[in-house]
Amino acid sequence: MSHPAFAPNNLAVITGAASGIGLAAARHFASLGMRVVLADLAGDKLDKAAAEVAAASPDRVQHIVAMPTDVSRLEDLEALERGVRQRFGEVHVLMNNAGIQPGSAILGPLAAWEATLSVNLWGVINGSRVFAAGMIAHGKPAVIINTGSKQGITTPPGDPAYNVSKAGVKVFTEALEHELRNTAGSQVHAHLLIPGFVYTGLTAQGRSEKPAGAWTPEQTVDFMMESLARGDFYILCPDNDVPRPTDERRILWAAGDIVENRPPLSRWHPDHADAFKAFLEKDRD
């Protein structure tokens, strides 16, 4: 069984829909007979994506629409919501998925921090805030799916701006779900998508073929749909290299830095390397 929000003729709005997980989700939703709005930066990439999604839609080409949107701009998201409401009416699925990863360093260029936070964090916060009231008001089952990252939970060294943005998405989405479930008459629920290693344009890093350890965007969307059908809030995706037990041990170790008063990011600290290795091996006992 699937979540009731994913019904024929229901409407899904997806940001970052021109590629990767967003495009795979758009194709999947269209195949269910849903109406789909693809939101992404204007250009040929978005137009091509809309054509691909229309091809996946059973006789509903007119129900697949591309709306150019820069999620780093609140006014663009407000215009998106107005345009969707005027053309289609009620929104049943909102997927705040747009993300960038230009790279960053603690003392590196401020522009990388500002761009990453504007898209990855503020795009999710503003997208949720702009659409949520209308989704609550129509009184039908609906979902807001925000794309986070394992890097926002275990926060590995190397790209602090990205980690901060995705940690913010996690905390915001938890608070959003708490608010929604305590709002009288609301049938809207929030969910945090936590992908594993997925082969997309964002993660390709010059590779032209999918690494063996990576999942495809389609596998990620399939797992997401199964998790939503179960009512999972945390959609913690494995991949071909990292099974769920390993993710769980890494997450527990990260939380343990506080409880055990270890140095931050002790998983990568030479004084704690052996202890972490032994801790991780417990999932294989």
CATH number at residue 48: 3.40.50.720
- Same domain, yes or no, for 136 and 196? yes
- Same domain, yes or no, for 225 and 258? no
Sequence-distant (≥ 6) Cβ neighbours of residue 283 within 8 angstroms: 245, 246, 248, 249
In a domain, 5, yes or no: no
Per residue of the chain (285 residues), what is the pLDDT tens digit? 789 999 999 999 999 999 999 999 999 999 999 999 999 999 999 999 999 999 999 876 679 999 999 999 999 999 999 999 999 999 999 999 999 999 999 999 999 999 999 999 999 999 999 999 999 999 999 999 999 999 999 999 999 999 999 999 999 999 999 999 999 999 999 999 999 999 987 776 667 788 899 999 999 999 999 999 999 999 999 999 999 999 999 999 999 999 999 999 999 999 999 999 999 998 565
241, 259, 277: which is the final residue of a domain?
A: 241
Residue showing tokens 């009416």: 89
Domain that holds residue 285: 243-285
- Calpha distance 175→9 (Å, rounded): 30
First to last CA, the chain: 34
- Same domain, yes or no, for 157 and 129? yes
In a domain, 1, yes or no: no
Say what the pLDDT of residue 204 is. 64
In a domain, 3, yes or no: no
162 is catalytic: yes
Say what the pLDDT of residue 274 is. 97
- Same domain, yes or no, for 186 and 208? yes
- Same domain, yes or no, for 33 and 163? yes
Q: Can you give the pTM of this predicted structure? A: 0.95
- Same domain, yes or no, for 237 and 276? no
Catalytic residue among 6, 162, 197, 199: 162
Say what the pLDDT of residue 209 is. 83
In a domain, 4, yes or no: no
Sequence-distant (≥ 6) Cβ neighbours of residue 160 within 8 angstroms: 104, 105, 106
Count up the domains in the chain and report the number. Answer: 2
DSSP string, 163-181: HHHHHHHHHHHHHHHHHHH
